[in-house]
Structure 1
Amino acid sequence: MPKITSETLWELAAADVEKRQSGVGEEERGAEPSDRTVFLMGSKAGGKTSILYRCLDKDEPPKPTLALEYSFGRRTRGHNTSKDIAHLWELGGGISLSDLVQIPISPSTIRSLTVILVLDLSKPNCLWGTMELLLQTAQEQIEKAFHQSQQKAGTKHQTSVQQKHVLPKDHPDRELVNPFPVPLLIIGSKYDIFQEFESDKKKLISKTLRFIAHYYAASLIFTSIKSESLMSKTKVFFSHFAFGVDKGKSVSTDSTKPLMIPAGADSFSQIGTPPTSDVTSLHAKNPKDLWKKVYESIFPQETVGEQKELKDPAKDPQYSEPQIDVMRAQKDQELDQYKRNAAKSWKGLNLS
């Protein structure tokens, strides 16, 4: 008689995530091929495509991402003929097209989903705003997709989706973190430019991202496509989330060096407090708000509202097509002229 289990599908999925986070080897997971979804989002022109191509060993020049692009990666396990598949989605345009998260984050993908957030370290004045808006948008869509999945399955076991057992039971911050609903990897890109910053600024940016990553129980790594060593380490992290391979146990928390911190390998006590002399005057509501206020006091953020206004890729300079744009401008002028003439015609009518 087959063994009867009371575990729900979601509990089984949570257990699988726990295995992935703890680095369980392929032999223990069995030879059954995996099917995962990886969603990349982040800073505009932050190097997402370049990083993805290097992680997939694609030997071709990257092209600007047009809104939302899909690709996939495959990996054969040793001598086994079965292949692991990773469905890869990349969101272009920074925060301007964040509404498109509803396509890669759906009821059919959330149980095998990993989010990769790429933040441009060379542009600290855009970093917090980009991070905050994209993570909030993604989290809201994950919750929505989860509820849709629950309704479709006819189950009501949970009111919200959340990672289980991300931190070990003996971790001092286990009850203090707010785990992102699905596995999250934060990549700080363009480290080659970042390393030329003043030491105080590098320290603030590094500690802030360490806090954010640990707060969300996420992994964090700094990289540069100009460094083979850093890209090799980044590829290990990517392969862990995309194909389930062991991510290793290497940790680097020194702000004078590239950060590399797997989820759960950091702690609030090691990160310390925000580097400011007058914390009380900032009137923060919680630790995350305090870090935000300290960070923005040094790096004032660009207005997110102004950045998000542009939702039409046709108006984005990076997607310009001179000949088409000229014709479009001409048609827009003709339309405006038609509207003006029509308005005059209506005003001239005698409706008495």
Structure 2
Amino acid sequence: MPKIISETLWEFAAADVQQRQSGVGEEDRSIEPSERTVFLIGSKAGGKTSILYRCLDKDEPPRPTLALEYSYGRRTRGHNTFKDIAHLWELGGGISLSDLVQIPIIPSSIRSLSVILVLDLSKPSCLWGTMERLLQAAQEQTKKAFHQAQQMSNSKQTVQQMHILPKDYPDRELINPFPVPLLIIGSKYDMFQEFDSDKKKLISKTLRFIAHYYAASLIFTSIKSESLMSKTKVFFSHFAFGVDKGKTVSTDSSKPLIIPAGADSFSQIGTPPTSDVTSLHAKNPKDLWKKVYECIFPQETVSEQRELKDPAKDPQYSEPQIDAMRAQKDQELEQYKRNAAKSWKGLDLES
């Protein structure tokens, strides 16, 4: 009489583990699931959430980002065996909340971190200030987190060695690579197209210089263009999941820019489009580009005050019972303030 073999789910799992450890099976043991962190920063109302939702194939309408928000993306590989995870952080409020970069940029995430800077092309008068402030904040926190990670692991690896460039990287000795992989996205290209050709050329060349100076990738996009969003998604997937970023390159200022890191050079970018460079008294090439840019697009003075709405009054976080109790307590507080004011006015203060 044949022997009946009964296996439980746990037995199946144990057998699968033994099979993998012995090197038998369809999947290659060298393929391991990965976890990466992507931090999105950029212009206030510049389209960060909309771009993120499109890259994640989310069907829901985007909501305004409140301070700092977390989400995640997953990608399945190897016949649904491995699930790569991307931890996604998005900073709202433009530069007003730049000190919050210390939350996602920490020692435990630093070695798998990428930064995406979204700049609103339709608002050139805020573009340089936003770029400069946010990149400075992210760069300082990144270096701090690197040092903390080194102290915790007693690693001899220095901060500058984290983002290693190939020896043949264009202008390798003249640039200042960002500590982690960086992607600059110029959003709202559909509105940017309406600009005067000279202004478009200056903005395009300036962003090409900035991207190359930081060893970053650069792409112009619009959520109204399926073609541009498709190309943007390729770059996003490269940063979030490590897939190939493609070989498409476009440096023509009359078209959307698509420039992977290392595909540009200072000689191709050229000099700032101005006839009076010597009178600007710039300290270095970056300072020169800044002065030329600000001559054409004077930067708006951005208030340092936080323009953050009260989360308790934000409809996307409504809780009827809690909100009703909060309203009652607010009324009681106002009544207490009025009574206290009356009592002070009624006092007969004597010297």
Q: Which runs of 5+ in 1 are unaligned?
A: 1-26
CA distances 1:203-250 after superposition (whole Å, capped 9, x unpaired): 000000000000000000000000000000000000001000001111
Q: Which amino acid aligns with 1:139?
A: Q
Given that residues 163 and 183 in structure 1 are in contact (C-alpha distance below 8 angstroms), is that contact kept between their aligned partners in structure 2? no
Tell me which of 270, 275, 278 is aligned to 1:277: 275
1:271 deviates by: 0.3
- More off after superposition, 29-38 vs 209-218: 29-38
CA contact (8 A) 2:115 2:181 kept: yes
Aligned partner letter, 1:298: I
What is the percent sequence identity of the aligned residues? 76
Tell me, in whole angstroms, the C-alpha distance in 2 between the residues paired with 1:340 and 1:281.
Answer: 61
Change over 3 Å in CA distance of 1:33–1:282 after alignment to 2: same
AA aligned to 1:165 is I
Q: Give the whole-Å Cα distance in 1 for the aligned partners of 2:155 and 2:181.
A: 23
Higher relative contact order (CA 8 A, sep 6+): 1
Q: Is the partner of 2:288 in helix, strand or coil?
A: helix
Offset from partner CA, 1:144-176 (integer Å, 9 cap, x none):
111221222234542x3454432x323440111
- The 3-state SS of whatever aligns with 1:104 is coil
Q: Distance in 2 between matches of 1:315 and 1:118?
A: 24
User: Which secondary structure state, in structure 1, belongs to the residue aligned with residue 310 of structure 2?
Assistant: helix
The 1-side partners of 2:105 and 2:163 are apart by 19
2:236 is aligned to: 238
Distance in 2 (CA, whole Å) between partners of 1:335 and 1:197 is 56
Alignment CA distance shift 1:131-1:66 (3 Å): same
The change in CA–CA distance for 1:37 and 1:320 in structure 2 (over 3 A counts) is closer
| Partner residue, 2:211 | 213
Following superposition of structure 1 onto structure 2, how do residues 9-20 of structure 1 map, counting pairs within 5 Å? none
Match of 1:3 in 2: none
Matches within 5 A, 1:1-352: 30-158=30-158, 160-166=159-165, 168-304=166-302, 306=303, 308-310=304-306, 312-314=308-310, 349-350=349-350
Structure number with larger C-alpha Rg = 2
Q: How many residues matched?
A: 319
d(CA) in 2 for partners of 1:64, 1:231: 20
Residues 13-57 of structure 1 deviation map (CA, whole Å, 9 limit, x = unaligned): xxxxxxxxxxxxxx9994111100000010111111110011011
| Cα RMSD, aligned residues only | 3.0
Q: Is the 8 A contact 2:118 2:184 kept in 1?
A: yes
Query: Taking structure 1 as reference, are residues 214 and 317 closer, same or farther at Cα in structure 2, changes over 3 Å only?
Result: farther
Q: Which runs of 5+ in 2 are unaligned?
A: 1-26
The residue number in structure 2 matching 1:9 is: none
Deviation at 1:80, TM superposition (A): 4.4
Secondary structure of the equivalent of 2:274? coil
* CA gap 1:339/1:161 in 2 versus in 1, 3 angstroms: farther
